Structure 1
Amino acid sequence: MKAHKIFFLLTVFISLFLSCSDDDGGSTTTEVDIYGTYDLQEVNVSAAVDVDGDGSSSTNLMDEADCISGTLIIRENMTWQFEQTNFTVTSITNNQYYVDCEGSSLGTGAWASDGVQIAFQGSTLLGTLQFSNDRITKTEGEDLPGIKSYVYVKRQ
């Protein structure tokens, strides 16, 4: 009788152990803290330019044109807000370029992310951008006078 009791308790214990599983339905990806305010830090072009005429060239137009700025706010309630200077890059003679800033673009909407990409809905201004290490990158991939990429860095 004692052997039956031990066998029964062992069977119950094993059944309980095997029936417990990770069924929380959670994602297998790590949580990423995307929420916050991001400032435009880089507007990258395909070749270094000296737009401001100071003798120093850069592939980042933010170093060359003081009039360019931008902010992207990503909220926990899955909404976003965006404002960025409208600017054009114009080719002039001898590989020289001119940047003209006028007004700004505004956008709002909803967002979703898998931790690597962020999809911005509600406006065509942003689309789907890459997220890594508190940096959001919008790749345009164009050669001058077009833009290669925009990089937003999270405020600390």
Structure 2
Amino acid sequence: MLATYYKIVLLIFNVGLTDFNIFMKKYTYYLFTCLVLVFISCSSDDSETATDDSALVIGTYSLSEINVNVAQDVDEDGTASNNMLDELDCLNGTLTINADGTWDLDLVELDITSVTGDFYAIRCGRTNNFTGKWTFQSSVLDLNASNFSAMVLNSSVLIEGVNEDLPGVLNRKFVKQ
């Protein structure tokens, strides 16, 4: 193999055999360095394999919070809350994340109408069923649906950050069952 390198050097630099010995004495260090660099650059380049953590998100979740930016006393018990589940018993939702990459959500909508200033008429709307396919990467669940934002999995809680002021909602939280 070394003889092959000598032949290549002779051809590239077009030197005779007598000049070759002088050439080798003069440039041995540089050739050795080039050889080392070639072997280093050809080392294994295996990167870490990505782990599939989608099993963490698979399961059934119950709606635990629908938060708004201004606390409201919808049930008129004298205590205002940002979490509309504390104010309306009719609100509920169940999100199921299936292992086959599909999801299903039954959700009672929140019907919010502006009255005046920071006061709103808030009541339960109709129950809707949503379905679709999901992806999960780096603790973020994407339902791939235009009417839902990506959700972040924090331990056993999925948090959908909608980030809308009233009459919209700030976030929804679902707790794994």
TM-score, length basis structure 1: 0.75
Pairwise CA RMSD: 2.5
Select which of 166, 170, 175 maps to 1:144: 166
> Which amino acid in structure 2 is aligned with residue 146 of structure 1?
G
Structure of higher CA gyration radius: 2
**Alpha-carbon separation, structure 2, partners of 1:22 and 1:63:** 55
Q: Contact (CA 8 Å) 1:115, 1:131: kept in 2 or not?
A: no
Q: Contact (CA 8 Å) 1:51, 1:96: kept in 2 or not?
A: no
- Larger relative contact order (CA 8 Å, sep ≥ 6): 1
**Alpha-carbon separation, structure 2, partners of 1:116 and 1:78:** 15
SS of 2:49 mapped into structure 1: coil
Matched-pair identity in %: 33
- How many residues align structurally? 134
Write out aligned runs for 1:17-32 (5 A). Answer: 26-27=49-50
Q: Offset of 1:83 from its aligned partner?
A: 1.1
The reply to whether residue 103 of structure 1 matches residue 129 of structure 2 is no
The reply to whether residue 84 of structure 1 matches residue 107 of structure 2 is yes
Select which of 106, 131, 135 maps to 1:112: 135
Select which of 73, 76, 90 maps to 1:67: 90
**Alpha-carbon separation, structure 2, partners of 1:84 and 1:31:** 23
Partner of 2:29: none
Greater fraction of residues in helix: 2
The reply to whether residue 38 of structure 1 matches residue 61 of structure 2 is yes
Greater fraction of residues in strand: 1
Q: Deviations over 1:98-144 (max 9, x none)?
A: 212232221112111114111113x4332422111111111111112
**Alpha-carbon separation, structure 1, partners of 2:136 and 2:156:** 14
SS of 2:127 mapped into structure 1: strand
Q: Offset of 1:35 from its aligned partner?
A: 0.9
TM-score, length basis structure 2: 0.66
Gaps of 5+ in 1: 1-20
